Structure 1
Amino acid sequence: MNAVVTGLGVVSPHGQDAGAMFDALLRGQSAIAPVFPELPKPACAATVEFDPLQWFTKLQLAGVDRVSQLAVAAAELAVRDAGVLGDVEPERLGVYAGCGMGGAAALEAAYRGGGRVPPLTIPAFMPNAPAAHVAMRQRVLGPVLTYSVACASSAVAIAEAAAAVQRGDLDVAIAGGSEALIVPGVVLAWQAMHTLAAFEPGEAASAVKPFAADRSGFALGEGAAFVVIESAERARARGARRYARVAGWGLSSDATHLTKPDAAGQVRALQAALRRAGLAPRDVGYCNAHGTATRIGDVVECEALAQVWGDALDGLAVSSTKALHGHLLGAAGALEAVITILALQRGQLPPNAHCATPEPTCRVPLVPAAGAAAPGLSSAITNSFAFGGTNAVLLFTRDSTN
């Protein structure tokens, strides 16, 4: 039983329309801007313009952190896009969500509240709150699961959802992730790790430079992205639009270091995704890379891709859209999955922005700053490689029966 994507929903730094977001990425439009001028060190991030009152009443918002607000909106948009839930038994519907850090705003308010802690702080910041709120909004009585695996969280959620649909455990899965951590305390913590991009005044928009020789790190981003997954047979029977098939996925662990990536672990995930899809490396034409623009991470990812693709590497176009929308951590895999699906559907590749001089040791073919047309693209992957050593690769193909 094939699992296909029939709905897309995003609340992103480039807006709440998935198609318009993709258009902005094709233009190389950056959503990264300075934040928190009061901090000792300059910081930048990609934030979301979001009015929760479009999705909640004031009474409903009590104890609902921004991370859950974004999740509810993105999941609702995906469900609307799929037009799917009218005839689904609630027990045959599931939510699979990724969230790396939970309700950061609720925690920040509790720590800085001068001893006055809101009574709903715990349910607001727990990492499974976004999934629970989505389930309540959509009346989901099947499995409601949260994966908190740092940067791989929502990619793992999508893989697990696709597996459940393929097994016949569910008729429909709402899968994705949410993250809302642009608060001073979190930014300070990431600055302390020396992983965030440095930038000069007026240059925040181009601070993130994946695979560039002068890269210096990433910028945090916030947002949510969800997809609706169902069987190809069910989608065909109801005449649904099928964006892509979830053809393969690979999950692996480095088991070497908590924060340093390992090429061997990434190779195992890439090979597993190809094996599950029944494809050879030469069959896959685009990779939306993890590409965090860190000194070590980009080189290791390129090494892993080179090992797996071998002589076919010249046929794999690579870009990291984090240069434009920031790093959404737990929601990164889901947002980048939506971008990869749209690249496949449209036959257009978003650019690897801000890379004037590529890192000499990164031997992968990068999508140019103007983007690229890929009308014959039939298969694409997206990588999510996380702190903790978890690697997740999602592989999407065109639905040939669409």
Structure 2
Amino acid sequence: MSPAPRIAVTGLGVLCSVGDGVTEFAESLRAGRSGLSAPGPTPASGPAPTPGPAFTASLRDFALDRSLDALPQLPAALRDLALRTARRSPLPVQAAVTVALQAWGQAGLHEAAEARERTGVVVAGSNLTERYTENSRARAAPNPAYLPARYALHHQDTDHVATLSRVLGITGEGFTVGGASASGNVGLVNGARMLAVGAADVCLVVGALSDLSELQTRGFLTLGAMAVAGAGDEDDPAERPAAPFDIRHRGFHPGQGAACLVLETEDSALRRGAAVLGRLAGHAIALDGNHLAAPSADGEARAMRGALAAAGLAPREVAYVSAHGTGSPLGDATETAALRDVFGAAGGGPWVNATKGLTGHCLAAAGVVEAVAVMLQIQGGFVHPNPGLDKPADSGCRFSGTAAAPAGIAFALSNGFGFGGINTSVALAHPDA
């Protein structure tokens, strides 16, 4: 049996509250710039509204045409095709096209003569169009004729795959995968496996934007997973968001985001002369045998150990862990217990931070957004700050502080954990490691 191919990362794309593209996102990471903001004031009269999210991190004035205009390296014909194809698509699909084209351009695939049947696409996420469905139902209620003509296409998650295939001419394998908040990492794992078995030479992994409906938002609030507005007390008025792992944490803050990694066999990258930005060195998925929103330190530790084993790494070789870190008191405590299990309780372990403190929780896209953040920190030689982490609820981890810290990162782990006991971890590496 021939050895598994080494998996290179040759392109990155990201769209979130603190960055449209990798350059702006990298600057925000280094500065510790948060996209979280409090909701607007409640009405002064009328019935009291049901409390909503405490803070959100929404996209800033996104427009598909402006984002595409910011990619001058793309051929005009490709830009025009993307705009024609996705102009009337729901927001999550437009975001997917944007980040895919960012990564496609950085990887030089717009100039490549590689066979499109050897290129695949994996879209990470499920239940991605509930807001579109909710809005379409309201629009069609007075008269069914008001239903958008392409509703039957747009309301399916596979519309992402089809649109990306059309825009980029991809004719290899393509599918969607779900894993709740671990979906992004599940997508990376499946993209790497596609390359490992020889089904493709190049694979785009897109973490899809979750545009939450009112019903989805209410469900997370009712469950107690999302931080609710007005939950502070006299000593903690909750005027600013608490970072994950801080004693003030009360749940996650929702964020809008999408991201893309171009994964490619190193042989393919060498043939094309593509610059290798880093490597996906190992990965693991481990279930808990649990259908509830109850995390398990054992399952999370098994996922991290599995990723290390697949990468051939010892824990001491990991310089940095991008934690799942949602800001849930139980979730944060469980993850810190798992980190101590894997890396020991000594303070000299890997750096730990949580990108959700800046971007909010991007849900289905979180794993891919955070993988992009890890790659940028590996390239830039730093770990981003944890603004709002004033008093760690657990002192057993080496959390980054209020300013970026220099760090030579050869190997890093990026964790993603989802409801129902879906535990994932991916090992990312410097291109020279």
User: What TM-score bracket applies, with the shorter chain setting the length?
Assistant: over 0.9
Matched residue type, 2:36: I
Shift of 1:371: 2.1
Pair 1:381-2:430 in alignment: no
Secondary structure of the corresponding residue to residue 329 of structure 2 = coil
Q: Which residue does 1:141 correspond to in 2?
A: 171
The range that moved more, 67-76 or 80-89, is 80-89
Q: Which residue does 2:12 correspond to in 1?
A: 8
Structure 1 pair 205–119 and aligned structure 2 pair: CA distance change class (3 A): farther
Matched-pair contact (CA < 8 Å) for 1:208–1:219 = no
Matched residue type, 1:66: L
Pair 1:280-2:314 in alignment: yes
Matched residue type, 1:110: S
Question: For 2:424, which of 370, 380, 392 is the aligned residue?
Answer: 392
Shift of 1:214: 1.4
Matched residue type, 1:73: T
The range that moved more, 275-284 or 183-192, is 183-192
Pair 1:174-2:199 in alignment: no
The range that moved more, 320-329 or 127-136, is 127-136
Structure 1 pair 250–284 and aligned structure 2 pair: CA distance change class (3 A): same
C-alpha distance in structure 2 between counterparts of 1:35 and 1:331, whole Å: 22
C-alpha distance in structure 1 between counterparts of 2:291 and 2:428, whole Å: 29
* Count of matched residue pairs: 398
Q: Which residue does 1:156 correspond to in 2?
A: 186
Secondary structure of the corresponding residue to residue 399 of structure 2 = coil
Q: Which residue does 1:41 correspond to in 2?
A: 51
Structure 1 pair 182–46 and aligned structure 2 pair: CA distance change class (3 A): farther
Alignment of 1:267-346 (within 5 A): 267-310=301-344, 314-346=348-380
C-alpha distance in structure 2 between counterparts of 1:184 and 1:220, whole Å: 13
Secondary structure of the corresponding residue to residue 32 of structure 1 = coil
Structure 1 pair 265–129 and aligned structure 2 pair: CA distance change class (3 A): same
Structure 1 pair 21–204 and aligned structure 2 pair: CA distance change class (3 A): farther
C-alpha distance in structure 1 between counterparts of 2:386 and 2:127, whole Å: 27
Deviations 1:370-389 (A, max 9, x none): 12110x22101110000121
Structure 2 gap ranges (5+): 43-48, 69-81
Aligned-residue identity in percent: 30
Structure 1 pair 275–115 and aligned structure 2 pair: CA distance change class (3 A): farther
Q: Which residue does 1:371 correspond to in 2?
A: 404
Shift of 1:395: 0.5
Q: Which residue does 1:253 correspond to in 2?
A: 287
Secondary structure of the corresponding residue to residue 250 of structure 2 = coil
Structure 1 pair 25–199 and aligned structure 2 pair: CA distance change class (3 A): farther
Matched-pair contact (CA < 8 Å) for 1:351–1:371 = yes
Pair 1:110-2:136 in alignment: yes
Question: For 2:158, which of 115, 124, 128 is the aligned residue?
Answer: 128
Secondary structure of the corresponding residue to residue 121 of structure 2 = strand
Deviations 1:313-335 (A, max 9, x none): 62211001101100011000000
Aligned-residue RMSD, C-alpha = 2.2
Matched-pair contact (CA < 8 Å) for 2:85–2:167 = no
C-alpha distance in structure 2 between counterparts of 1:170 and 1:206, whole Å: 46
Shift of 1:179: 1.6
Deviations 1:244-268 (A, max 9, x none): 1110001111112421111111111
Shift of 1:37: 5.4
Matched-pair contact (CA < 8 Å) for 1:199–1:207 = no
> TM-score under structure 1 normalisation?
0.93
C-alpha distance in structure 2 between counterparts of 1:333 and 1:316, whole Å: 19
Matched-pair contact (CA < 8 Å) for 1:208–1:322 = no
